[in-house]
Structure 1
Amino acid sequence: MYSDACSSTVRLNIGGKKFCTTFDTLTLREPQSMLAAMFSGRHTVCKDSEKGYVFVDRDGKHFRHILNWLRDGVAPNFSDFENIELLREAEYYQLLISRFFFSKRGLMDKINIVLKRKDDEEKQSELTRADIIKIIRSKNVRLSGINLSGLDLSKLDLSSVDFSFACLKNVIFSHSNLHRAKFQDVDAENANFHNATLRECEFLRANLRGALLAEANLDRANLHDHCVIGCCLCDADLRHANLWEAKVTYTNLEGANLRGTKLGRCDFKGANLEGACVDHDIRLVTFNLEGVKLNGERMTHVL
């Protein structure tokens, strides 16, 4: 039992950082929390011999924000990364239900609401499909750095459009003409390029994690240093494409045409290359083929 439970001052040592607060602060706002339980008088709490600090084996980086929440009910305005760190601490201390709010939301709910709101804002495109159609009627279209998340841009002529540095998460490009379009440094996670024309496109340092590129035409496309983890490239045409230093882990390349493709220093861990056509001057230099499915009969003349 904590002997000073009825006194006003409580000393805490959180991972080496020392804090001084009150019994009421630790118990009133979130009565179902771990901290409230610790100082409820129902449990024995050990104190060190020096000034009576109670030690908790957690990182003390965000504990002042935990205390400020318990004092004032105000959550800090953090970045997503810091909010995730704070959420981890709120989970540990079980800050679930607040006695002082009509909504009964504790700090955990408060942080989760902020994270969801930011996520929803990121998913909203800055333009509509109608806006894009108007824009592409002009020459030298540039959509670089714009958030187009979730837009349906299927069956459009987007040839030579510059999408560099844009957010293209979940964008639908299926059956679109993207010949010579630029996708440098784009975030196109889970984008749909099914049956799209991507000939001579620039994908330098692009994030295509989880993208659908099945039956897409990537002839002579530059995919140098790009990320296509977990993608589908089934039956895609990758003739003479540049995949040098690409990360193609756990990607389905079944039936893809890789004739003349540059594949040096690629990571193909867990990829499926069954039935892929790679029989003409393919360069496979210092690559990772751990767990790769291969069809040996069509792997002739590999260097």
Structure 2
Amino acid sequence: MHRLALSVLLAAILVGPAAAEQDLLLGADMTSPAMTQAEMSRADIEAMIAAAHGKPIDLHDKSLSGLDLSGLDLRGANLRTARLNTANLRGADLTGANLQQAWFLKADLSGAKLADAAMFGITARDANFSGADLSRSMPIGDFKGANMRGATLVDLRGGADIRNQSMGLMRAVFTSVNLSGANLKGADLGRSRLEFANLTDADLTDVVLMGSDLSGANLTGATVAGADFKNVDVSGTRLIGLKGEDRARDWAARVNIDRAITQAAH
């Protein structure tokens, strides 16, 4: 069953429109044991970690939903296609982990270390990444509704690569994501979906936003010095109290500038 769900997920990421995203929920049985139950216990995984003597453990394609894995050392772990829906990964170390095509629906990764993690095809809708470190990770997947408040996303590699798009546009989906106060210095979010994202007081210094969709997003108080706004859709976007606006790149090349909100309502 879960392989069908994975194929639907990839279709949603590749195609992008809302209809494809809805198909993700329609095409996968989210109530099945593969999506809601765990085939291993925390003790089982702790034993694997101990036996590995510091080497990465292999949990690919495992059903781990609902498990308490908080604080575990999962550096470099292979979690490709694993299901960790609603799992507790608070403070876990997933540095350099392979999370490609893994499921993290409503999982708690607050304060987790995810630097350099591979996330192609991941789905982490409504997951909690508050205070987490995703520096240099590659989140080409679906994070719709996730909480990334105060997260570190320095040098994030979430931009779409148009040089190899034979299957469609693969991009980061950050629709309605809470990125308030997040550090995104140097991140690549070119051609990403950021509709209705909360970016209040976020640090967007030198961020590549070229061709992304920021419609309805809130950038109040955000730092935008050096950020690339070429062909960025700002329809309904709140651009109030920005810091470093005079140093933003291609500021005049935004799309739907006349529809942006530049003054606070009185």
TM-score, reference length from structure 1: 0.59
CA distance in 2, matches of 1:181, 1:282: 24
What is the match of residue 223 of structure 2?
298
1:210 aligns with 2:126: yes
What is the match of residue 88 of structure 2?
172
- Among 71, 76, 79, the alignment partner of 1:163 is 79
CA distance in 2, matches of 1:302, 1:140: 36
What is the match of residue 198 of structure 1?
114
Task: Give aligned-pair identity as a percent.
Answer: 30
What is the match of residue 203 of structure 2?
277
Query: Deviation string for 1:202-249 (max 9, x for gaps)?
Result: 1111001111000001111111x2110000000000000112220100
- Among 10, 24, 43, the alignment partner of 1:130 is 43
Residue 200 of structure 2 contacts residue 222 of structure 2 at CA under 8 Å; is this kept in 1?
Answer: no
What is the match of residue 240 of structure 1?
155
Aligned residue runs from structure 1 range 257-276, under 5 A: 257-276=183-202
CA distance in 1, matches of 2:223, 2:148: 18
CA distance in 2, matches of 1:145, 1:292: 35
Q: Structure 1 residues 121, 242: closer, same or farther in 2, change over 3 A?
A: closer
Q: Structure 1 residues 120, 145: closer, same or farther in 2, change over 3 A?
A: closer
CA distance in 1, matches of 2:109, 2:37: 20
CA distance in 2, matches of 1:294, 1:191: 26
Q: Structure 1 residues 119, 297: closer, same or farther in 2, change over 3 A?
A: closer
Query: Deviation string for 1:146-183 (max 9, x for gaps)?
Result: 10010000011111111001111111110111111110
Query: Deviation string for 1:116-174 (max 9, x for gaps)?
Result: 9x635642200000000011121331100010010000011111111001111111110
What is the match of residue 227 of structure 1?
142
Higher RCO structure, 1 or 2 (CA under 8 Å, sep 6+): 2
CA distance in 2, matches of 1:131, 1:120: 19
Aligned residue runs from structure 1 range 144-159, under 5 A: 144-159=60-75
Q: Match of 2:207, as an amino acid?
A: I
TM-score, reference length from structure 2: 0.67
Q: Give the match's secondary structure for 2:32.
A: helix
Gapped regions of structure 1 (runs ≥ 5): 1-79, 82-114
More strand by share: 1
CA distance in 2, matches of 1:165, 1:156: 19
Q: Between Structure 1 and Structure 2, whose CA radius of gyration is higher?
A: 1
Q: Match of 2:197, as an amino acid?
A: A
After superposition, the CA RMSD in angstroms is 1.9
Q: After TM superposition, where is structure 1 displaced by more than 6 Å over at least 4 residues in a row?
A: none
Q: Structure 1 residues 297, 255: closer, same or farther in 2, change over 3 A?
A: closer
Offset at residue 287 of structure 1 (A): 0.8
CA distance in 2, matches of 1:297, 1:150: 35
CA distance in 2, matches of 1:277, 1:292: 15
Gapped regions of structure 2 (runs ≥ 5): 6-28, 160-170, 229-266
